[in-house]
A and B are shown apart, each in its own frame.
Chain A
Amino acid sequence: MAKLTIPAEEWMYRGHAACPGCGPALAMRLLLKGLGPRTVMSIPACCWTVIGTPYPTTALGIALLDNPIESTGASIAGLRAALDALRIEDVRVVGFAGDGGTADIGLQALSGMLERRTDAIFVMYDNEGYMNTGVQRSSATPQGAWTTTTPVEGPRRGKREAKKEIMSIVLAHHPAYAATVNPAFPEDFVRKAEKARDARGPRFLHALTPCPPGWKFSSEETIELGRLATETGLFPLYEVEDGVYRITRRLGTLKPVDEYVRLQGRFRHWEPEDVRELSEEVRRGWERLLRLERETAPAVFPKPPVAIAAA
């Protein structure tokens, strides 16, 4: 039997309040396996506010602080400052926010934390909408997706605009480490969580976390859908360390995006033309990623590295 690379210890307990098939619950479980119990976490208003179970219980085996939806970046800066000031060592500080609490209302505090080179990890668990409030559009909702505020009604066919590229925004801040993770690829997820744990400075993980009630798919298909998201090239797995891109899951031929799209009720209104457009966009994104990996690869004759001031 192959050696397991994923720690057996659980820091997310049974009895949590997630929906069946919840992607964010899987992301939390894998993240904490990578980070371990010497972790202090801040969570804004999001699905995990509720998943974490109400007072006086908690579903996580770590120290956890709640914060309002827009201030996760500032909260983890405060936690780090207190640990440093009180000389408490060997503790990871993590913010765990939804896509709204990261890319919409949380963007300012995230940018501030990245720019100040705060020694902390920011995780965006991306279920592509405001799911805890009942499936409303966020800037991370994909183009053409149905949500309660982007209806498919008359001429309206879901969200008109493209998904915000949070990784590009984060990478413009030159973080120490940034990666995409997907609970459908647990070894890759945990390895990146461990890498984030051991790095210093600002780190960012973008987790794609399927949401059965929000995306309208059957709860036993979360892993299948997650795998398709990556294998179609829609959500490639890669990491960026000091500006160097590395694809962590190589893809030969991209699987047809139609396989991903047709599993989800939020795209039920799509025409073949919509699928063709998405395929084209995914292909361009994948080629861009391959190019970035080539262009940022360390030279055969290494140049002196460009120094980025550490926190």
Chain B
Amino acid sequence: MTREVLSGNYAQAYAVRLARARVISAYPITPQTTIVEKLSEFVASGELDARFVEVESEHSALQVVVSAAGLGARTYTATSSQGLLLMHELLHWASGMRAPIVMGVVNRAVAPPWNIGADHTDTIAQRDTGWLQFYPESNQEVLDTVLEAYRLAESPEVRLPAMVNEDAFYLSHTYEPVDVPTPEIVDRFLPPRESHAVLRPGVAARLGSFTGPDHYVEFRHELARATEAVGKRLPEVEEEYRRFTGRSHGGAFPTYRAEGADAVLVTMGTTSTTARTVVDEMRAEGLKVGLAKLRMFRPFPDDAVRELAGSVDRLGVVDRSYTFGPAGAAATEVRAAIYPTPHHPLVAGFLAGVGGRDVTPAHVRRMFEELLGNPGEATRWEDLLPAEVGAHG
């Protein structure tokens, strides 16, 4: 193990090098670009034995890795925002073809107006495409999650693609010390991809194909079963990773000081780090607050959310995206998850940090205070400018 000072994007690139991805393809977009710049260097210098295909669009980037995965190669691509939206059609192809691609997504706001700040709208809008989605909060977690994502995605019972997301700039361009495991360790944790269910030259077979209702239903059902398998497989992968590196990140829905809490805030990505310090401050003041991090949004960790909901009366869910639904995307999922359970805590929805607006400790404290008061269940835009400043109409 070595300790390096890495940006989130470099942590992602270092992980891909350690994973020995064989085919990489990408198209430039801010703030993702430094991931593939670094990977281009690794490939050019021979540190990474891979083919790097410099395509003419994100759509083609994802097609390149989908097809390469079809022949059994371990693959990687990365994008942000508009690029991810352009990939939308291919996202379905990747999961439908059971291609265990890992993709880094640097979460960036969606235009118009143009904005390159952190915002989860890009990935949340892809929640129904069959990809696993992780929202790490630190550069260390980015590196570890990329490696775990490969192991998980390539598991025979899963074989689904995975996104490892980074909040734009808060992670992508911010440098932190990161423990980088040795190649020997990673090779033991993540052996070369097993080439089952892939095309072989010289063997007549068809990957993709077409079918009517006579088989299509079963293909979708297989996808559902694979998605369900993630919940069981993730803790195993985390435990294997912990054995090799001494680190794990608490599975899909880790909690912090949530035991006996009156109110728990559910966060994603870097807001979690900010919220954790606020929990400590408020706990020191005698206020019983806690935190739960939605580390994996897809598949949604229903069971873990239900377990938490059974022991707490007030949940606040923070979404860093506005998605036109009945509430924020995560708030809606949390409510749906707990609906079948006998104990229904109040679930308040907060929108904060949209478009890269900084989510400060003061914002988080106010959300906790509102949650401890009587917030109701209507979605609150937590960090709007005062009307006289923010009016654009």
- Seed contacts A50-B210, A54-B215; 19 additional CB < 8 Å A-B pairs: A55-B210, A56-B209, A64-B207, A66-B206, A73-B60, A74-B59, A75-B67, A78-B53, A78-B70, A79-B68, A79-B71, A81-B68, A82-B69, A82-B70, A83-B201, A85-B50, A85-B73, A109-B60, A115-B56
Cβ contacts under 8 Å, B49 to chain A: 85
Judged by a CB distance under 8 angstroms, whether A261 is at the interface is no
- Min distance, Cβ A64 to any Cβ of chain B, angstroms: 4
Contacting pair B73 A75 (CB below 8 A): no
Cβ contacts under 8 Å, B290 to chain A: none
Can you identify 18 A-B contacts, CB atoms within 8 angstroms?
A: A42-B67, A62-B204, A65-B208, A66-B208, A66-B209, A67-B66, A71-B59, A74-B67, A77-B55, A77-B67, A78-B53, A81-B25, A81-B68, A82-B22, A82-B67, A85-B51, A88-B201, A116-B54
- Min distance, Cβ A196 to any Cβ of chain B, angstroms: 17
- Min distance, Cβ B205 to any Cβ of chain A, angstroms: 6
Contacting pair A109 B206 (CB below 8 A): no
CB proximity to B under 8 Å, residues A35-84: 37-40, 42, 49-50, 52, 54-56, 58, 60-68, 70-71, 73-79, 81-84
Q: What 0/1 pattern do residues 1 to 31 of B give for CB contact below 8 A with A?
A: 0000000000000000000001101000000
Contacting pair A81 B53 (CB below 8 A): yes
Contacting pair B57 A65 (CB below 8 A): no
Judged by a CB distance under 8 angstroms, whether A264 is at the interface is no
* Best-buried of B23, B71, B72 by chain A (most CB within 10 Å): B71
A112 to B72, CA, bound (A): 23
Judged by a CB distance under 8 angstroms, whether A86 is at the interface is yes
- Min distance, Cβ A68 to any Cβ of chain B, angstroms: 6
Point out the residue from B56, B71, B209 that lies within 8 Å of A82, measured CB to CB.
B71
Judged by a CB distance under 8 angstroms, whether B225 is at the interface is no
CB proximity to A under 8 Å, residues B65-85: 65-73
Cβ contacts under 8 Å, A86 to chain B: 22, 71-73
Judged by a CB distance under 8 angstroms, whether A199 is at the interface is no
Contacting pair B205 A116 (CB below 8 A): no
Judged by a CB distance under 8 angstroms, whether B45 is at the interface is no
A310 to B205, CA, bound (A): 31
Point out the residue from B65, B72, B202, B215 that lies within 8 Å of A55, measured CB to CB.
B215
Judged by a CB distance under 8 angstroms, whether A91 is at the interface is yes
Contacting pair A55 B53 (CB below 8 A): no
* Best-buried of A58, A62, A65 by chain B (most CB within 10 Å): A65
Interface Cβ pair total, 8 Å cutoff: 155
Cβ contacts under 8 Å, A61 to chain B: 204
Judged by a CB distance under 8 angstroms, whether A108 is at the interface is yes
Cβ contacts under 8 Å, A81 to chain B: 23, 25, 51, 53, 64, 68, 73
Give the size of the chain A interface in residues (CB under 8 angstroms).
44
Contacting pair B67 A76 (CB below 8 A): yes
Residues in chain A within 8 A of chain B (CB atoms): 37-40, 42, 49-50, 52, 54-56, 58, 60-68, 70-71, 73-79, 81-86, 88, 91, 108-109, 111-112, 115-116
Contacting pair B89 A68 (CB below 8 A): yes
Judged by a CB distance under 8 angstroms, whether B387 is at the interface is no
Point out the residue from A49, A68, A73 that lies within 8 Å of B93, measured CB to CB.
A68
- Min distance, Cβ A198 to any Cβ of chain B, angstroms: 17
Cβ contacts under 8 Å, B207 to chain A: 63-66
A83 to B198, CA, bound (A): 13
A65 to B53, CA, bound (A): 19
Contacting pair A54 B211 (CB below 8 A): yes
Contacting pair B23 A74 (CB below 8 A): no
Judged by a CB distance under 8 angstroms, whether B270 is at the interface is no
Point out the residue from A58, A74, A82, A112 that lies within 8 Å of B73, measured CB to CB.
A82
- Min distance, Cβ B54 to any Cβ of chain A, angstroms: 7
CB proximity to A under 8 Å, residues B147-176: none
Contacting pair A77 B53 (CB below 8 A): yes
- Min distance, Cβ A274 to any Cβ of chain B, angstroms: 39
- Min distance, Cβ B199 to any Cβ of chain A, angstroms: 4
A88 to B71, CA, bound (A): 10
Cβ contacts under 8 Å, B215 to chain A: 54-56
Cβ contacts under 8 Å, A91 to chain B: 201-202
Judged by a CB distance under 8 angstroms, whether B121 is at the interface is no
Judged by a CB distance under 8 angstroms, whether B391 is at the interface is no
Cβ contacts under 8 Å, A88 to chain B: 71, 201
Name the CB-closest residue of A to B200. A63
A81 to B52, CA, bound (A): 8
Name the CB-closest residue of B to A11. B204
A54 to B71, CA, bound (A): 21
A52 to B208, CA, bound (A): 12
- Min distance, Cβ A234 to any Cβ of chain B, angstroms: 32
Judged by a CB distance under 8 angstroms, whether B321 is at the interface is no
Judged by a CB distance under 8 angstroms, whether B90 is at the interface is yes
A42 to B209, CA, bound (A): 11
Judged by a CB distance under 8 angstroms, whether B203 is at the interface is yes
Name the CB-closest residue of B to A83. B71
Point out the residue from B22, B60, B72 that lies within 8 Å of A71, measured CB to CB.
B60
A268 to B134, CA, bound (A): 60
Cβ contacts under 8 Å, B56 to chain A: 108-109, 111-112, 115
Known contacts A78-B68, A81-B73, A111-B56; A65 and B202 CB within 8 A of each other: no
Cβ contacts under 8 Å, B54 to chain A: 116
Name the CB-closest residue of A to B21. A85
- Min distance, Cβ A201 to any Cβ of chain B, angstroms: 15
Contacting pair B68 A85 (CB below 8 A): yes
CB proximity to A under 8 Å, residues B188-230: 199-212, 215
Cβ contacts under 8 Å, B64 to chain A: 74-75, 77-78, 81
A210 to B25, CA, bound (A): 37
